[in-house]
Amino acid sequence: MIAYGTIDERAAALQDEMVALRRDFHAHPELGFEERRSSAAIARYLSGLGLEVRTGLASTGVAAVLQGSRPGRTLMLRADMDALPIQELNDVDYRSKNPGVMHACGHDGHMAILLGAARLLSSLKDSLSGRIVFVFQPAEENLGGARSMIDDGVLDNPRVDAALGLHLISILPHGYVGTRSGPFMASVDVFTTRIHGRGGHSAMPGGSVDAIALSADLLSGLNDHVRRGLPDGSRFLVNIGTIHGGTAPNVVADLVELQGTVRCLDDPVRPLIRDLMEGFLRETMTPRDARFELDYLQGYPIVVNDPAMTDLLVGAAGRVVGPDHVIDMPPAMASEDMAFYLQRVPGCYFFVGAGSDDAGMNAPHHNPRFAIDERSLGTGLKTLCLAAVDYLESS
């Protein structure tokens, strides 16, 4: 049995290396499916550890296999690699060197933690049963890189039995870990609706159908209509994020396009929302001689944590940060494509606190001043490695 003290000691020795890795990734951020520099650096690092490395998964993804000394189960550990189209405003010497691109969601830290885990667990391979697959995935932000990784066989060779993934999060202070069993993060779908009215002169609107006025009815009534059509207590959120319409101040608009998202924490409810939206559009537009189109694209599923894997993770985290610092998180309306892996294999996705009010590291995610307390790298590393060891030893 591998003692926690061994993991704690080796993790401490890796802290400076993880910080250096994280800062290098931070200075060279890359958008989804463009993570070529990051991917190459990761592959070199893993090859240097003597692991079996596969590249080119989902274009820029990397997977590496660590074989233990005895037969056993296969556990996947996953990190995402992509950055965001944001101009960084932090004044640090490792700020982004790529104009308009920034690691503003912590993925730089995720890569550093998983590379640290690969090094730490490789040093323990003679004491491990089974195998660990380290997965570095492109394009988590809106592009569904996990689905492409699965299509390219990341769960099949070797066949993965369970999965763990983490996210550094600034709303939790350093020294805390948060997760929950069951539905943890919402599904997300994206919709575009176009309202077709009839244009005319604003001084003589009698024969026109004002698409902007109709869009106002949609904005004011859609959420209430959907809510009344769903079972009581349904957990969902409909948000309209963009509106484009009109051509001139003296013209009645004949076309308005709206785009938004639907988030949901109840799988049976998810398909009902689209039908209710379409029904509301029809009821609102048809009596006024207007037409509509609704394009509805299904995005990420709900992140559902397996109860047994969550218990395992909570136990490991409690030994790292103390049981009182392991938070049973409320379900989040944010979304994550880790959900695609967890549809296929049991697993647990968890948050690692990375905020620090004292250091001013409390900007929200996707903000140009987002930053992390780098002590969280060690917390993430120890929690991930201890959970991995516990899982493999339990087999």
Judge whether residue 123 has pLDDT over 80: yes
Judge whether residue 360 has pLDDT over 90: no
Judge whether residue 357 has pLDDT over 80: yes
Judge whether residue 3 has pLDDT over 90: no
Judge whether residue 389 has pLDDT over 80: yes
pLDDT at 381: 99
d(CA 340, CA 342): 5
DSSP letter for 82, please: -
Judge whether residue 48 has pLDDT over 90: yes
Is there a catalytic annotation at residue 293? Answer: no
DSSP letter for 365, please: T
Element (H, E) at 289: none
- Distance (Å) of CA 292 to CA 141, 193, 224, 342: 29, 7, 20, 36
CB 273 within 8 A of CB 226: yes
pLDDT at 359: 84
Q: Percent of the chain at pLDDT above 90?
A: 95
Q: pLDDT digit string (tens) for 237-287?
A: 999 999 999 999 999 999 999 999 999 999 999 999 999 999 999 999 999
Q: What are phi and psi of 321, to 5 degrees?
A: -110, -5
Least Cα distance to 17 among 121, 102, 88, 117 occurs for 117
Question: Using alpha carbons only, what angle is made at residue 349 by residues 344 and 350, rounded to the nearest 5 degrees?
Answer: 175
pLDDT at 209: 96
d(CA 219, CA 161): 45
Give the pLDDT mean for 136-153.
95
Choosing from 30, 34, 35, 140, the catalytic residue is 140
Contacts of 303 (CB under 8 A, 6+ apart): 183, 184, 185, 186, 335, 336, 338, 339, 342, 349
Is there a catalytic annotation at residue 140? Answer: yes
Mean pLDDT of the chain: 97
Choosing from 80, 82, 108, 266, the catalytic residue is 82
Give the pLDDT mean for 309-320.
99
Which pLDDT band holds residue 1 (cuts at 50, 70, 90)? Answer: confident
